[in-house]
Amino acid sequence: MSKNIPAPIAKIIPKTLEKHSQKRVDNYYWLNDREDPAVIDYLNKENKYYEEMTSHTKTFQNELYEEMKARIKEDDESVPYLYNGYYYITRFETGKGYPIYSRKKENLSADEEILFNCNELSEGHSYFKLGGLSVSPDNKYVSFGLDTMGRRIYTVQIKNLETGEILSDKIENATGSSVWANDNKTLFYTRQDEVTLRSDKVFKHKVGTGSATDELVFHEKDDTFDVSVGKEKSKKYIVIGSGSTLTTEFRILNADQPDGKFVIFQPRVRGLEYSISHFGDSFYILTNKDKATNFKLMKTPEKATKKENWKDVIPHRADVLLEDIEIFSDYLVVDERADGLNRIRIMPWSGNGEYYLPFGSETYSAGPTTNVDFDTDILRYSYQSLATPASVIDFNMKTKEKEVKKEQQVLGGDFDKDNYVEERVWAIATDGNKIPISIVYRKGLKKDGSNPLLLYAYGSYGVTMDAYFSSTRLSLLDRGFIYAIAHIRGGEDLGRTWYEDGKLLKKKNTFTDFIDCSKFLIAEKYTSAKHLYAEGGSAGGLLMGAIINMAPELYNGVIAQVPFVDVVTTMLDDTIPLTTGEYDEWGNPNIKKFYDYMLSYSPYDNVKAQEYPNMYVSTGLHDSQVQYWEPAKWVAKLRTQKTNNTVLYLNTNMDAGHGGASGRFEALKELAEEFSFILDLEKIIK
């Protein structure tokens, strides 16, 4: 690996930032103007440096790309599901990077009706995303959202499925999601604040009219809340959801009366979280009411929805997290989590013979998927593990028979899940908590400390990182890598308390948990510091930034994708998307105790003169979630502070946003870049 190519050095323009009578000097604040030619020039120089420094891996990257692509069934399609008289299918064609959405009337032998061919629609766009498909009750219209920038700003349009015509109705600056009232001509949709991109308004649109005349039906003025709009499975109610990290509130409207007024289901109470499901003459409520930390299930009459009318159906349990429910005419299906693992509980409304679906693996992921019909005994759920490809299974809740409708195919002819070992081990945190780690590796591997290991985690927003299968990961496992997921605090892996203990003024538990997992894997000789690699993206990129400041000696390399690393400055800027809605996650730095705590761990603010691991940092110029300038500033500062000669790359996708490249296979090229980075460090390029 050549070290003779000079790295770009960003110019220093000191800017003094003052808060709470404290001054910080930001030498790279100027990088936050994407319209400045000097900023684009710097990003291009970093890209050129990355390309030149890794030129010896380009052939290998292409081989990796082709290898990963070859495992994927190109002419693939989803398991059809029946909704309102039509079977809906998403399929891919060989050599094409985007999906085709289609449907068949009444049976699967009927002629295919193509709703959208995204391969045709994406032509001429460097980025393309279609989402938010919503079909009218009479099956005549479909509303959809288009994003061609990658900033998650959609234009909503309507297609006449009988004529194929795209109507002139065009709704700009939308979130992309929309829902039909039962009159087949009224569409409810959400719009974003133009500056912060916070979803804050719900509008009502009549087919065939201009969006300028659309009626505002709800405006969420609290800038810590986001809004959404949807429809109950019963099809009786349109529902507006308004939620922050800690509080939710819903409004309901009879879908037969779209010009009526939305009624508040239960007024917001700070700290009260609830979600609603309509069935019969009642609503079922998943809630943390009455200090139900892990949530409980309650029920209330549809004409008496305030919380004083709610009655327990499934009481709170300290050791079981209640995650979701699915309602059928004869069954209640409960999605639970106990000891960090999914459980699916089948409860007949008759009260007789409830049971759990059996899962035998040490570490796996399972849960209900597309279940749009009340009147059926069939539960559709998914199952996968680190070594078992994802399956879609139809389970007869009455006979207990199951039918595997589809198992993900891994092409190439040499994949056998029995060639891999899965483990679930527990590291002991500094404060004594036990942290689960899911691990997979190829059989025959010796635990002698010489194995390269990639440790992944996220650890924020209560997001649970279940053990999932990845055919692309085989490119690491088959080259001797161990892959592990650290289920650290900040996620909800071990229940709601696990999340609460990794946020706000306890956020550092997330970082020390990851470090403790790393030390455990080294102590147990799965790997060593010379061969340990860490990976995280977005808020997981914050994790990467924190651990390399706190314990850089543990890692040979780090992959940080779209990392949130300039915590204090970002959280003080309420014009940036997501900022105000994040106060309940990170704290409000306008309050001194939160400012001081954030400042103590913010990766950008804590870069110092020390040795740092090899690093690959990626971002997107149009990222709406984590602005590109955070990783750009971070890398610029690291270049001037790190005291060793490890490599440091900043790779900016000049066309994409937070999710990276669009298209089915373009993302594989980005993955090939990441994999080649660590494989090159291990000298396993072959």
Which residues are catalytically annotated? 538, 623, 658
Cβ neighbour number for residue 647 with a 10 Å cutoff:
19
Neighbours of 484 (CB within 10 A): 25
Adjacent-strand bridge partners of 101 = 90, 116
Q: How many angstroms separate the CA atoms of 90 and 621, rounded?
A: 30
Instruction: Return the SS3 of 216.
Output: strand
Contact 26, 579 (CB under 8 A): no
| 189 strand-pairing partners | 178, 203
Cite the beta strand spans of 148-196 per DSSP E.
Answer: 154-160, 166-180, 186-192
Instruction: Using alpha carbons, select from 131, 3, 126 the residue that is nearest to residue 56.
Output: 3
Helix (H) or strand (E) holding 352: none
CA–CA gap between residue 94 and residue 639 (Å, rounded):
43
Q: At what angle do helices 37-53 and 629-641 cross, to 10 degrees?
A: 60
Q: What is d(CA 435, CA 426) in angstroms, rounded to the nearest whole number?
A: 5
User: How is residue 151 annotated by DSSP?
Assistant: S
With both helix axes pointing from N to C terminus, report the angle between 58-70 and 666-681 in degrees, rounded to the nearest 10.
120
Nearest to 629 by CA among 43, 71, 185, 120: 43
Task: Say how far apart CA 43 and CA 28 lie, in whole Å.
Answer: 13
In order of 276, 495, 569, 623, the CA distances from 292 in angstroms are 16, 11, 35, 37
Task: Please say whether the beta carbons of 297 and 330 come within 8 A.
Answer: no
Structure tokens given for 299: 């029920």
The neighbour count for residue 5, using CB atoms within 10 Å, is: 10
Type of residue at 358: P
SS3 label, residue 337 = strand
**Residue from 646, 603, 648, 650 nearest 628 by CA:** 650
Q: 622 exposed, middle or buried (CB, 10 Å; 0-12, 13-18, 19+)?
A: buried
Q: Using alpha carbons, select from 363, 338, 341, 547 the residue that is nearest to residue 455.
A: 547
Count of Cβ atoms closer than 10 Å to residue 436 Cβ: 21
Instruction: Report the SS3 class of residue 71.
Output: coil
Whether the Cβ atoms of residue 493 and residue 582 lie closer than 8 Å to each other: no
Whether the CB-CB separation of 506 and 468 falls below 8 Å is answered with no
